[in-house]
Chain A
Amino acid sequence: MLVSTKWLEEYVNTQGLPPAELGEKITRAGIEVDAVIDRSEGLANLVVGYVTECVKHPEADKLSICQVGVGGGEIDQIICGAPNIAQGQSVIVARPGAKLPGGMKIKKAKLRGEVSNGMICSLQELGIETKLVPKSYAEGIYVLPEKAEPGTDVLSYLDLDDTVLELGLTPNRADAMSMLGVAYEVGAILEEDVSLPEIVYAEAAERAESMLSLEVDAPEANPLYVAKVVRNVKVKESPLWLQQRLMAAGVRPHNNVVDVTNYILMEYGQPLHAFDYDSLGSGNITVRHAKEGEKITTLDDTERTLSAHQLVITNGTDPVALAGVMGGANSEVSEDTTTVVIESAYFASDSIRRTSKDHNLRSDASSRYEKGVDPNRVIPAAERAAQLLAELADGEVLGGSLVFDQLDKKERIVKVSPDFINSRLGMKIRLEDMLDILSRLKFNTEAANNQLIIEVPTRRQDIQIEEDVVEEIARLYGYDEIPATLPRTDATPGGLSPYQAKRRIARHFLEGAGLLQATTYSLTSEAAATQFALEPTETTRLLMPMSEERSILRQSLLPHLLESLSYNTARRTDSVALYETGSVFLKGQDELLDEQEHLAIVMTGLWVDHSWQGEKKVVDFFVAKGIVEGLAAKLGLELSFERGEMDGLHPGRTAFILLDGKRIGVIGALHPSEQKKRDLKETIAVELNLATLLTRETEALVYIQVSRYPTISRDVALVLSNIVEAQTIEGVIRNAGGKLLKDVRVFDLYEGDRMEEGKKSLAFSLTYFDPEKTLTDDEVNAAHEKIIKALTESGAELR
């Protein structure tokens, strides 16, 4: 909502406050002023000019040489390029020394050999948006509607010495979508009264009923309809003040009839519509629901097919307007119109909302109906229209109105106790201060038995319950006056749940291990949605995605995380290691999705880069595996790994991660073709069902006494077929090891030239230990022999 402060002054005394200060007061009281716009910004030394002579420039077709009276009997020659310039016009002149928006300064100039003492201006040159300039002046200079005294200052003559407040209205404050509504708000803030427009006009002896009949067949959607008939109107340009007020409010002037309806829309917040009486052709207006498939061409020249729930205004047979949304082209007021029917009505908001949504058509009228108009302004708005048409279009208003009225226009009563207000706020506002605020709001209030009985004006549809009154009192008393206290609830322990605490532990571990936390989008493409998914299900698609790229909910974190890797390597960060925790979305039994919190890790480039001391290590499977094992250890869990395959991963370098024999994740090197596609070098990826890890209860930590007895180590080097896995051999060792075997560790792997084809050498270091005593060589030897025997039997060769 754009509020001209000059216009606002007509209804409420703003106490001479500078507009910025007024704006600040309005903001602090609850309606945010988004901008304070000085309409005269950048303008200086503009005067009214009168074109006494206008001839074609001999050297240029498109230019005219004008003699322009600029006041004090002075006549200046000005060259003008506008197509609509003509003798006898009153125009806006920027004389040498004048300033226009954008820092433009006007100087005396020569155009094709002819002197030009300034410039004749269009409205756009004064900083007014083209979409607000009347169509007839959109391509040329602006011609003042009435003859004005040459030399008059243009800023005040055009009401450009004005500041507009741009209000950012929340949906509840529909009352402030009108100048009167804003006046009531400002009046309440500044403790000033509001003066309503005085409506006086002469009625013709003939009654409206003699020319028009009215029927409403849809009283629920249209409980109030008022029609007035104005005869002998002269459709023409509106006077300057009206055009300027509309432009200040962001509305384009058209002609006096349309402008009057728009003016009252802005003034009262009540949408009006004007029909050309003769085009109706029937002398009848009938409001009814549309017939299924019925058609209407609206004012925007679009043919629209109607449905049965949509409300239309008809001439008794055919639709002439889409009620409350837009008029029909067939009954539009034109220059030839002589008799006008003014419609002022109350349409139910849900009906309008639905129709407006169906046709994807929102207008100033529909947006006000959607939020609800004031039932008590429907009739006054019609009267105000009659008055202005009589004044500005020389119209003759027929006596009375055609009225269909089943609307409840009573004020709502809200009862609230002062104690309730104070206890909600944590304040001690006195009763007289509350009553004062309510009277500033023009809410009639009675105080009785520790109860405020408030009659809420119908313009404030948002005040319905006690809490709404609490807010009204508080915002005008001042939110600054509210003290700062803390809740007096019993002390609660609060804290993280074990799951949340473990998630933090996991995160800190991963960061300590050298991974950067990343965050990627949950929405992805169909192709990426299930890639790398541990348990792919049917995908979930949005009804109305913004793009195909973001249309499906992801089932794996890896595709986007890998994209982040590529993003970085493309920007010459070659070594990157990222992790992310976040939800994947699987189809479940429930209507909601099965959301599982996953953890993914990706790494590429160097893991260790300390080259001046000769240390350099490229990321590999085992770097990632070490991190996963470390994480499990931190969470008190034991994982196992099982060779596996997954699309997009290297078939020889992929393992599933198991917890208690159940697959909960995957770890692998990216498949070379996948790497190529993503423009990555050697890349390792991990994805784990983090929720499974974190929901697992951890066993209590039991301290084991540090032993006084030493451990004894023995090494064993084996020659094996190179398809035998280390974990198999470790299993053999542990099985045969007995209770003295404490630890088994791989310490060497050799697969080089010195080995027979298909063989590898694997060396283990075994640790023996007895917590009760120092082991003897014999005891260790016996245990070790058993292991060697088992190994040999399993096919391993001692080296």
Chain B
Amino acid sequence: MEARLQELKNEALEKIQAAQTVKELTDVRVAYLGKKGPITDVLKGMGKLPAEERPKMGALVNEVRAEVTESLEARMVLLEEQAINEKLQSETIDISLPGRPAKTGNPHPLTRVVEEIEDLFLSMGYEIAEGPEVEKDYYNFEALNLPKGHPARDMQDSFYITEDILLRTHTSPVQARTMETKGGEPIKIICPGKVYRRDNDDATHSHQFTQIEGLVVGEDIRMSDLKGTLSIFAKKMFGDDREIRLRPSFFPFTEPSVEMDISCFKCGGSGCNVCKKTGWIEILGAGMVHPNVLEMAGYDSKRLTGFAFGMGPERIAMLKYGIEDIRHFYTNDVRFLTQFQRTEL
């Protein structure tokens, strides 16, 4: 009997090692360790043994059983792991296939530029003021020191609707209106919006375009404050190493008036096609608010002073991104619009 057990054990261990799948191994378990298996048979045959041999034989059977079970379980772990691996293998995907596109739109490039400017000035405590696009001649011109017949009105050929109503030619009427409403109180605003001029549309002209202007009025506002403010703006918009320079200029609503150039962001000042070999790029016009403008809005120009500045987001976007034709902003070609998707931060 002992020999028979030894034989069975060897046989079982051999089959365990031979089993290649979980199923085969399970069959081996049933075959050798099951209730109808040969080891159980050996146990059943123990009754024929003399009583003193039985315990020894019983221990031997258990030993064989334990040894077979242990081997079987070890083999089972191995085979199960192998099975899982095979399953995973069969589930492999081509990770190079394209993902399901997430829906993404993006702002218009002009909004992008305007918002960037808005955010900068908002962080400096400015408010955003808006006003009508169809405006009274009074706010568009007269309140800005441009009486009827003023030679500078030639500079802005306008779309009139009646003798006294026109499409605003700049966002400055919003400044005039704000001053009138604030009734002598200090002001810190920027005014973005659409404006219109009688121009033929071509690569550099558009009868409709956008403007963003700023106005600060308060006690003892100085020209140096204008310079400091514009300097911060230039660095934020065009890079920390930008320098600015002011040149004297003329606008009827400011005195003194300036034009601001920034050092070229492409060549850094050495001269290139963007800056027309000058190293400088004209960005905006500005100045100290003309006392006539303050007085007309009911401000005491002896007590309160102010500065104002204005720029064209189209021009800024064209310079910044190298856009060659202003009409792109209004044709809405998807191949154009989608280029302004990603951040530059």
Contact = CB atoms under 8 A, between A and B. Distances in A.
Contacts of B121: 494
A173 B330 contact: no
B108 A517 contact: yes
Interface stretch (A137-145, A472-480, A734-742, A765-773): A472-480
Interface stretch (A253-261, A289-297, A507-515, A711-719): A507-515
Interface in B120-148: 121-128, 130, 132-136
B248 interface: yes
Interface string B180-221: 000000101000001010101000000110000000101111
Interface string B71-104: 0000000000000000000000000011011011
Given A513-B103, A595-B133, A521 B208 contact: yes
Nearest to A371: B151
Contacts of A353: 149, 151
A612 interface: yes
A370 B132 CA distance: 32
Contacts of A519: 108, 110, 329-330, 332
A157 interface: no
Contacts of A751: none
A543 B223 contact: no
Given A370-B151, A424-B305, A595-B134, A467 B220 contact: no
B228 interface: yes
Interface centre among A491, A511, A512 (most CB of B within 10 A): A511
A576 interface: yes
A240 B296 CA distance: 54
Contacts of B265: none
Interface string A509-546: 01111111111111100000000000000001111111
Nearest to A24: B278
Given A474-B223, A516-B337, A550 B207 contact: yes
Contact of B332 (A27, A350, A568): A568
Contact of A482 (B101, B128, B216, B227): B227
Interface residues of B, number: 85
Contacts of B224: 425-427, 482-485
A480 B258 CA distance: 12
Contact of A544 (B198, B216, B232, B246): B198
B334 interface: yes
Interface string B229-255: 101100000000000011111100001
A494 B134 contact: no
Contact of A595 (B132, B159, B198, B257): B132
Contacts of B164: 591
B345 interface: no
A543 B161 contact: yes
Interface in A533-574: 540-546, 550, 553, 564, 567-568, 571, 573
A467 to B, nearest CB: 4
B106 interface: yes
B154 interface: yes
B272 interface: no
B233 to A, nearest CB: 11
A706 interface: no
Nearest to A370: B151
Interface stretch (A86-94, A577-585, A634-642, A651-659): A577-585
Contact of B338 (A350, A470, A516): A516
Contacts of B275: none
Interface in A606-664: 609-610, 612-613, 615
Contacts of B231: 484
A511 B104 contact: yes
A514 B104 CA distance: 4
A134 interface: no
A618 B158 CA distance: 44
A704 interface: no
B288 A171 contact: no
Contacts of B126: 492, 494
Nearest to A561: B332
Interface string B36-57: 0000000000000000000000
B322 interface: no
Contacts of A609: 101
Nearest to A612: B97
B42 to A, nearest CB: 57
B128 A28 contact: no
A97 to B, nearest CB: 31
Interface in B149-175: 149, 151-152, 154-155, 159-162, 164-165, 167
Contacts of A582: 194
A520 B330 contact: yes
B223 A568 contact: no
B222 interface: yes
Nearest to A571: B333
Given A494-B122, A511-B106, A514-B103, A424 B186 contact: no
B284 to A, nearest CB: 14
Interface stretch (A230-238, A437-445, A495-503): A495-503
Given A564-B332, A568-B332, A517 B255 contact: no
B342 interface: no
A398 B111 CA distance: 71
A423 interface: yes
A485 B225 contact: yes
Nearest to A353: B149
A513 B151 CA distance: 50
Nearest to A508: B107
A424 B288 contact: yes
A77 B135 CA distance: 72
Nearest to B221: A487
B130 to A, nearest CB: 8
B35 interface: no
Interface string B321-340: 00000000111111101100
B256 to A, nearest CB: 3
A467 B223 contact: no
A427 B149 CA distance: 36
A485 B222 contact: yes
A479 B100 contact: no
A484 B227 contact: yes
Nearest to A573: B334
A487 B229 contact: yes
A512 B107 CA distance: 10
A487 B149 contact: no
A486 B165 contact: no
A353 B245 CA distance: 36
B105 A541 contact: no
Contact of A467 (B133, B152, B291): B291
B188 A492 contact: yes
B149 A350 contact: yes
B332 A615 contact: no
Given A172-B250, A483-B227, A488-B220, A494 B127 contact: yes
A471 interface: yes
Given A489-B186, A522-B133, 10 more contacts: A171-B152, A426-B224, A426-B225, A467-B290, A468-B255, A471-B257, A491-B125, A514-B105, A542-B160, A592-B165
4 closest cross-chain pairs (CB), A and B: A426-B224, A514-B103, A30-B248, A426-B222
16 contacts: A173-B250, A425-B222, A467-B256, A468-B255, A471-B257, A479-B248, A480-B246, A492-B188, A493-B125, A515-B105, A517-B105, A519-B108, A521-B207, A522-B208, A544-B159, A573-B334
Interface of B: 97-98, 100-101, 103-108, 110-111, 115, 121-128, 130, 132-136, 149, 151-152, 154-155, 159-162, 164-165, 167, 186, 188, 194, 196, 198, 200, 207-208, 216, 218-225, 227-229, 231-232, 245-250, 255-259, 288, 290-291, 305, 329-335, 337-338
Interface of A: 27-30, 32, 170-173, 350, 353, 370-371, 423-427, 465, 467-468, 470-471, 474-475, 479-480, 482-497, 500, 504, 507, 510-523, 540-546, 550, 553, 564, 567-568, 571, 573, 576-579, 582-583, 585, 591-593, 595, 609-610, 612-613, 615
